[in-house]
Structure 1
Amino acid sequence: MTSPVSDSAGAVGGGWNERREDYALRRVPLSYRQWGAISLTGVMLGVATAMFFLAWGGQLIIAYGTVNTLIGMIFGTVLIGGVGLVLTRISAATGLDSDLITRGAGFGFMGSAFTSLIYTFNFVMFFAFEGEIMAAAIHDYWPVIPSWSVYLAVGLVFIPLTWWGITAMNWLMWATLPVYLGFLVWTIVLAATSDTHAAFWSHVPTTVANPAAGPALLQVMAASLGLISMATGAADLGRFLPPGKRTGGAVALGFGSMFVTLCVLTMLGGWFTLRFDGSTNPGAYLSGLMGIWGVLFVIVTQLRINTTNVYSGSLAYANFFCRIFHITPGRQYWVILTTVVGTGLMFGGILDHLNAILTFEATFIMAWVMAVVSDIVINKRLGLSPSNFVYKRAHTYKYNPVGVGALVFALAIALPLAFNVAGPLGKTLAPFVSGIVAFAAAPAIAALTRGRYYLPATAASNIDPALPAVGTGSIANIASARADAHTQEVNGTSRCTTCADSFELAEFVSCPFHQGPVCSVCCSSESRCKEMCKSEQQAVLTIKSAPTQSA
């Protein structure tokens, strides 16, 4: 079992155990949702300050020209920022991260586990991109240090940096921001005073990187879709916002961070490339321009971005292994797996295939994210799915054909395109096809199934009277749990029958297997019960017995 966090330490700055966990597998309680939009946006902008975006901007402008790159970045800001706004408002209102939202948005308990794998690869991929850039900077300045040793060092250093979760990340981001901005201003001055006088806004490549892959603008837009996971990353941070500040926080985390990332820093990276003789690897040109200070600049940005990558990857791994293998050692231990996989990708030279990998990854991410968005903006508004976001194992089917079906259908059509079956143009179109098909398929499947796979018949009811009455429940167990809540030091909490830790009432269901209130994580990781609460016999028995018992 995991070491669940006690809500008695639920305020910001609570126990170290809480800071390590950051409610990786459960709803964030109201007592912990006190973070401001400025603080969380600061953490989110750790992504924007990645060297990856400077390198990517250089590659895009060299290959496709400045105007095409700018239009593509505006497109990415509007689309990804819009998705981020929708998801972050939901996460701030519910306290759920993107994975828990996915469960109740058409995928089911086990169905969303596989989207966690898609999500995880995205973060280890960016972890590897950044690691390679830093290795290039260090190796170029100190040729005696082999790149492989830097890869290993990068993997090791981020384990302690992300062990303590969002609290340590917030401190790191704000502490390093002045250093980063100082180095960035220095680089801008060097670029502005460079002897190279290449035109920026009018720059057009002599030939498009791959004319057979379609118009240059289309290729840039396809590559930008590979960053759609930044929208789900915004939601993962947005769950720490107070519900009353969800709209302003969602705008800042969604649109604000995307504008800075794509329209400012990515374009700035393209300008640097043209001013520094066409070099697209900032790890190489910064060490050449600034010497040891350039290497330090790269290291600072590496610390900022890869703490976010490793943290987000550990969240996704924690969710996946909890559901598939019922393993819950704690969010912080999956930090180790995230860094190991990311380090392995560095050795594979992933940076050399940046645009192709982004487009391929976008095919998977778009199918998942657009199926979720479709369920939120269409299915829930049309009454095809429940208006609330059910996430507990006892209240969800293992698989919901709405989201899972939309994902499979979209990938069945788009993956052959991504694998070049229809040639380079088909490969470019793959992420667009994936997103459009998934968005259209989710409401179609929901209508065909009449939404019957969202809420199973269950005997496990919420014990919190403020929540919707999901499940038939056992009134005796619910009454017992509520009575127990009044004996706790913190009002509105109960104690888990399994792990004996206290949480807010919203975390619990009345479990017929354990004969008492069980928290959502213990419910998720329980392998012995065989989901007896969802068995037809148990549900019928509970329904029959409920009216004869007193509350």
Structure 2
Amino acid sequence: MLAVGRNLAPLEVSFTDDPQVVKDAATEDYTTHVVPHSWRSSKKSLSMSWYSLVSGMFYLVTAATLAAVVGTTNTLIGIVLACAVFGLFGSIISRYATRTGLTVALISQRLFGASGSIVAPLILAATSIYYAVFESSMIAHAFHAYLGFLDIRIWYAIAVAMNLPLVMGSIRRWMDKYNAALLPIYWAGLILVVVLIARGNDTTGWLAHAPNTSLDLAAPGWLYAFFVYLGVLVLMMFTMDFARFGKPQDTRANGIVIFGPMFYLFVYLANGLIGIFIAYAAGLSGEVSSTAIVDTMVALLGGWGLLLVWVTQARINTANFYEASTNFEALWTRLFRTRLPRVAAVLICGAITYLFMLTDVLSYLLVALAWQGAFIAAWVAILLVHIALNRHGDRHDMPEFRPGRLANFGAGAWIWFASAIVGIALYQYGGSIGATWSTPITFILAGAAYAAAFSLQTRSVLLRRADDPRDEVTDVWEARIKCHACGHSYIAIEMDRDPSVPGSPAICTACAGLSRTYRKACLVEHTTTPSAAPTAP
């Protein structure tokens, strides 16, 4: 195809997937690229991958612990409110991710700038690793307690090693099938635990557990419970990374059933009810903990209980390690400007997880998650506001995410950092009021500030660049353009012209992020051609 504009090298365009790109996607899952429509997953496949997050011991323990603090009624009110809010947010973000095919790392470039965005994959990778530490510890504890031999550190290693092979394949090639096979075991096991507890214990009154009135929560009990769940907004970042694999024609169904209200009814309400029942009908009140619930399952079911614990934790760990490895890969690429194979990223994340498990992780895990939670709450608020205010994107109904067309930092980056720091300060120094209200205040502050500065953000983050390959093809989602740097072809929506090379040949987003000379040439073009058409409307 002939180029338009200045003396440009012609684009090498095709309309079928590059075979090597498809082969790489079997493990890489387009981690540093836009997901083309040809690699999107069916509703069934996507639901099985995403619903791995349903089976977390965390959800059972959180509900049981909250019931001990604010009472069962207040806990259930908070859970229902969380289901409604998370369902709405999840639906909005999943639709956006499906439309754009972008990862957390790529959309963060539009929100915060090419350099400001690097914190997003760092935060998400670290948070995912922390959750993997928690879930893997439960597996190790269950095996160690039941079998009674080998040092716990060896069981830690075994628990991590058992999970890693499960996430080395792509979402559509392996994770969906694995989690689909284990889902019935999870629900059947939990139901059996409930039945056995009901047969051997006095189950009257478990729904009427009273709140602990001696605690100063700085909020009504139901609102306090809701704020606790609001601290798990990292699920919205998970949603962005998973929902990008949805098919455009399934957007509405996916937004309701997979990533929306239906999912949270299972993950929060169903798990919460079971967690409260196990804790109080089995007589664990006052001793609610992950290990106590695990021990109860194993004591009731024996070896089958051990299997249930493994299934429960292994399923959710597929999502934890998937998110950790893909975002670690994106982070590595940005920091060291070299490609890191996904398998290597999985192994490194597994090693980091194991090292954390050898420390007194619980002494700092909650504080670390709270600090990271401030950045996550601000990120989610900013993304939601951006979706509302930039509905049609910057060009071709897409947000501008290509690194050569974005400034190092936009106004959004400073809003993100400042609001997160306020949230951390409230949590650390605000007493009970600050600890309770830090997440909602951070969320509201970040969203309001980004909305107020949206026009400034758009002007500050978008570079003035000409010669856009998107304008040289008829269909930006179906046309594939060959990258001069890696020699592979990707969809036109992510391709750019490389002004550092004579003729400005095409370059893909991943290679653009690796090249310093490309970046410098783009900045020079921005400063020396003030009359060039900006990428904003």
TM normalised by structure 1 equals 0.85
Residue 235 in structure 1 maps to residue 243 in structure 2: no
Matches within 5 A, 1:131-530: 131-166=136-171, 167-207=173-213, 210-211=215-216, 213-252=218-257, 253-278=259-284, 279-281=288-290, 282-350=293-361, 359-377=370-388, 379-380=389-390, 388-401=398-411, 403-419=412-428, 421-447=429-455, 449=456, 451-459=458-466, 461-463=468-470, 465=472, 492-514=479-501, 515-530=504-519
- 1:53–1:450 distance in 2 versus 1, CA, 3 Å: closer
Query: Does the Cα contact within 8 Å between 1:380 and 1:386 map onto a contact in 2?
Result: no
Equivalence for 1:101: 107
- Counterpart residue identity of residue 454, structure 1: V
Equivalence for 2:9: none
In structure 2, C-alpha distance between the alignment counterparts of 1:405 and 1:516, rounded to whole Å: 34
Which consecutive unaligned segments of at least 5 residues does structure 1 have? Answer: 1-5, 470-489, 545-551
- Counterpart residue identity of residue 216, structure 2: P
Residue 54 in structure 1 maps to residue 60 in structure 2: yes
Query: Does the Cα contact within 8 Å between 1:183 and 1:297 map onto a contact in 2?
Result: yes
In structure 2, C-alpha distance between the alignment counterparts of 1:84 and 1:524, rounded to whole Å: 29
In structure 2, C-alpha distance between the alignment counterparts of 1:150 and 1:298, rounded to whole Å: 14
- 1:67–1:355 distance in 2 versus 1, CA, 3 Å: farther
Instruction: Say how many residue pairs are matched.
Output: 509
RMSD, matched Cα: 2.9
| Offset of residue 204 of structure 1 | 1.0
Query: Does the Cα contact within 8 Å between 2:78 and 2:225 map onto a contact in 1?
Result: yes
In structure 1, C-alpha distance between the alignment counterparts of 2:395 and 2:461, rounded to whole Å: 7
- 1:287–1:145 distance in 2 versus 1, CA, 3 Å: farther
> CA-to-partner distance for each residue in 1:9-38, whole Å, 9 max, x for gaps?
499xx53x21100000110011112x1223
Equivalence for 1:113: 118
Which consecutive unaligned segments of at least 5 residues does structure 2 have? Answer: 1-15
- Counterpart residue identity of residue 134, structure 1: I
| Offset of residue 346 of structure 1 | 2.6
Deviates more, 1:76-85 or 1:199-208: 199-208
In structure 1, C-alpha distance between the alignment counterparts of 2:262 and 2:159, rounded to whole Å: 29
Equivalence for 1:18: 25
Residue 7 in structure 1 maps to residue 17 in structure 2: yes
In structure 1, C-alpha distance between the alignment counterparts of 2:432 and 2:368, rounded to whole Å: 14
- 1:73–1:344 distance in 2 versus 1, CA, 3 Å: farther
Q: Secondary structure of 2:507's match?
A: strand
In structure 1, C-alpha distance between the alignment counterparts of 2:108 and 2:471, rounded to whole Å: 22
Equivalence for 1:71: 77
TM normalised by structure 2 equals 0.87
| Offset of residue 539 of structure 1 | 5.3
| Offset of residue 538 of structure 1 | 7.8
| Offset of residue 219 of structure 1 | 2.8
Q: 1:533 aligns with which of 522, 534, 537?
A: 522
- Counterpart residue identity of residue 190, structure 1: L
In structure 1, C-alpha distance between the alignment counterparts of 2:109 and 2:351, rounded to whole Å: 28
Deviates more, 1:252-261 or 1:295-304: 252-261
Deviates more, 1:342-351 or 1:196-205: 342-351
Q: 1:127 aligns with which of 126, 132, 137?
A: 132
Tell me: higher relative CO, structure 1 or 2? Use CA pairs within 8 A at least 6 residues apart. Answer: 2
> CA-to-partner distance for each residue in 1:70-125, whole Å, 9 max, x for gaps?
11112221222222111110111111123322222x21222121022121222112
> CA-to-partner distance for each residue in 1:171-227, whole Å, 9 max, x for gaps?
11111122223212211211221323351221114445x425544333322210122
| Offset of residue 318 of structure 1 | 1.8
In structure 1, C-alpha distance between the alignment counterparts of 2:478 and 2:387, rounded to whole Å: 33
Query: Does the Cα contact within 8 Å between 2:140 and 2:158 map onto a contact in 1?
Result: no
Equivalence for 1:482: none
